[in-house]
Structure 1
Amino acid sequence: MRLIPTLAAFCTTASMAVASPEFWSFEWPNTDFETTTVESWVEIMSGGPPKDGIPAIDDPTFVTVAEKPDLTPREPVITLEIEGEVPRAYPIRYLTWHEIVNDVVGGIPVAVTFCPLCNSGITFDRRIADRTLSFGVSGKLRFSDMIMYDRETESWWQQAIGEAIVGDLTGTELVSLPSWMESWEAFSTRNPDGLVMEQPAFNRDYGANPYVQYDSSNRPFLYSGEMPPHDIPALARVVRVGDQAWPLTRLVEAESLSEVGVTLTWSQGQASALDTADIGAGKEVGNVRVRDAEGNDLPHDVMFAFAFHAFWPEGTWMIGN
């Protein structure tokens, strides 16, 4: 767990007071802080744990759906289906505590990522040009979103946008792959022969949510940016496709929306991972799929509204008429 709520204000003030490359360089001697797209260092603060204090998972192991009876029907997983490969599920009960899984699927090196403070779950291709990167958790946040780092150059990467923001690789963008968050029941029913990530060999309270009732909060942790427009609550979920965002409440009401060449569908059955202490018992948020006109799955994210506004301030809000 990053922080308890009662410490949030103190940590915000303390982090802003020491937000500077001079302070961070002791922990990050190999990071080029002269090269950056960050306009103000006060945007970056500590989330609590140090570098690798939240350990990313490398070379995860998998078992078949039938061999994983401990997962509960409504708890969320991130699904990755690559053509020609057996579909894989990465349970949020593990990603909550590790945030990044470095894996290889069908010869494609991938990073499956989840930032609990933004509810942002995105899968990236780890290849850039002629090199393959591996990612760890920096322990830093920007606009409450996880900052990843690559172990090869120790550049810092913004998880929500998949772009390097500090270091040698600044300005480089990772390619997002189609993946989506859905319930374990939805994945296992559709993929009875699928694979699911096995429990990592760490001493963690897997299945528990360290951010109890976070998505019912009025304001996000460690965030001092602008609130979303259109009276949309900061921690309301939106479906982001590129620089466009559909309020989840609108999609829930319609169950299916087809606009600007994109079709979004919603079905019930998935629990919020950021509500009750038991991840699988959270309030209903449902399963979202996003496809193009030909029915192909599209990269997207179901994130909190404040995070969309922070990283796409000129983005389009698809709020309907």
Structure 2
Amino acid sequence: MRILIFVIVFFSSLFAFNSTIDDRSYGLKSATSSWNTNWNKHSIPYTELLSGGPARDGIPPLDKPKFVTIKQAKTFLKDDEPLIFVSINNEKKAYALSILIWHEIVNDSLGNEKILVTFCPLCNASIVFSRMIDGVLHDFGTSGLLRKSDLVMYDRQSESLWQQFTGQAIVGDSLGKELKLLSSSIVSFKDIYTHHPSTMILSQDTGYKREYGKNPYSGYDNINSSPFLLQEDIDNRMPPMRRVATLSINNRDKAYSYKVLKKKKVINDRFENKDLVLFYKNNVLSALDKTKIKDSKKVGSASIFEAKLNGEVLEFYYDKGFYDKKTKSLWNIFGLAIKGELKGKKLKKITFGSHFWFAWVVFKPNTVIYK
């Protein structure tokens, strides 16, 4: 019996992934020869790391971002352009995808929080994290590598590699650590200046000469397109480039197709014992369609909130705006009642994402789809 157990354990170990050996390919070693990364620590096979083309920081992160007022931003942004909106401790900033598409990472601060604003065009993934890890401030850059078609970041303190989509360290001394996810959403410039006029907007004065407003990935989000450098099989429950609103609760995952959201405008749902409401507005341009973002198609924006207010679950509907059935109060895309009996009340935000379907499901294969 002991011999049998030994044989099973021995042969199992042969096929188990070993994360203490630097078994990079010659090409990967050559491309990263000057890095101080601890390559002996990794949770992924190195065959999954692919060169995206540019070298490390060849897509330059913004380390000292400048900001302008709404009035100033109106000189270079259209009403329906997509921006990443972040609010922390009543301070608000927004980052236009027309700028982020050229930089992918912004190391910034907001509301006494050190934040990391990220955008991976290939996954249509805009995700915001805290830059504090075990009480230590970290700065991030672009590694030039991709994994599952997603941006792989690195931190300058330990030179560990981080998966943007999950916020997890996958190579280096920070292996096993995970960045704290912060709430954010993609909304239109008009929604920001209408409902949050004090928001500061990322300036085009970045110190780099780039054609802001142009899309270097023209046509990429065509529904019939194929993801770039994706080695994994594609979950065919939806087209790979379908936009989805996604959330994770209690380690369970759910996705809401933008095709369904566009039709319904409001979805009342219950998932993992939470009552939810999703709002959708068809007023946001794609950053990945035409060469000029201002000429691109509208893909819309979504938000997800808890539907419970003061202990009572509200049901919502759409009638040229978002209303709750009980009081007929009018709500905006930020979950704030702006007219009616509940004016001034705010729904609790649910941290969620808006991504391409392939990008979400390759990391979350057990995702349930709302139908």
**TM-score, normalization: structure 1?**
0.89
Measured after TM superposition, the shift of residue 64 of structure 1 is: 0.9
Q: Greater RCO between the two (CA within 8 Å, min separation 6)?
A: 1
Alignment match of 2:293 (pick from 271, 274, 279): 279
What displacement does 1:187 show? 1.1
Give the aligned partner of residue 9 of structure 1: none
Deviation at 1:59, TM superposition (A): 2.3
Per-residue CA deviations over 1:138-185 (Å, capped at 9, x if unaligned) read 010001100000000000000011111111111111111110011111
Matched, 1:307 2:359: yes
Partner Cα distance (1:169, 1:280) in 2: 40
Give the corresponding residue for 2:349. 297
Q: In the TM superposition, what whole-angstrom CA distance separates every residue of 1:97-116 from its partner, at most 9, and x where no partner exists?
A: 00000101111000010000
1:319 aligns with 2:370: yes
Could you tell me how far apart the structure 2 residues matched to 1:152 and 1:264 are? 39
Change (3 A) 1:19 1:78: farther
- 1:1-321 equivalences under 5 Å are 18=25, 22-28=29-35, 30-38=36-44, 40-69=45-74, 70-85=76-91, 87-199=92-204, 200-216=206-222, 217-230=224-237, 232-242=238-248, 243-259=253-269, 260=271, 261=274, 262-294=276-308, 295-314=347-366, 316-320=367-371
**Other structure's SS at 1:182 match:** strand
Kindly state the Cα deviation for residue 318 of structure 1 after the two structures are TM-superposed.
Answer: 2.0
Q: 1:249 to 1:276 in 2, by over 3 A?
A: same
Provide the rounded CA distance (Å) in 2 between the counterparts of 1:61 and 1:25: 31
- Is the Cα contact below 8 Å between 1:76 and 1:280 reproduced in 2? no
Secondary structure of 1:104 counterpart: strand
How far apart, CA to CA, are the structure 2 residues paired with 1:50 and 1:226? 27
Please report how far the alpha carbon of residue 135 of structure 1 lies from its aligned counterpart in structure 2 after TM superposition: 0.6
Q: For this pair of structures, how many residues does the alignment match? A: 299
Superposed structure 1 runs of 4+ greater than 3 Å apart: 17-25
SS in 1 for 2:101: helix
Change (3 A) 1:140 1:311: same
Offset at residue 33 of structure 1 (A)? 1.3
Q: Which stretch of the first structure deviates more once superposed, 292-301 or 96-105?
A: 292-301
The C-alpha deviation readout for 1:82-104, integer Å capped at 9, x for no partner, is 1322x211111110000000101
State the shift of 1:24 in Å.
4.3
Say what the alpha-carbon RMSD is for the aligned residues.
1.6
Q: Give the distance between the partners of 1:201 and 1:54, measured in 2 at CA.
A: 13
Conserved 8 A contact 1:73-1:280 = no
Which residue identity does 2:362 align to in structure 1?
A
Q: Aligned partners of 2:26 and 2:211: how far apart in 1? A: 31
Superposed displacement of residue 20, structure 1: 6.3
Q: For the pair shown, which has the larger CA radius of gyration, 1 or 2?
A: 2
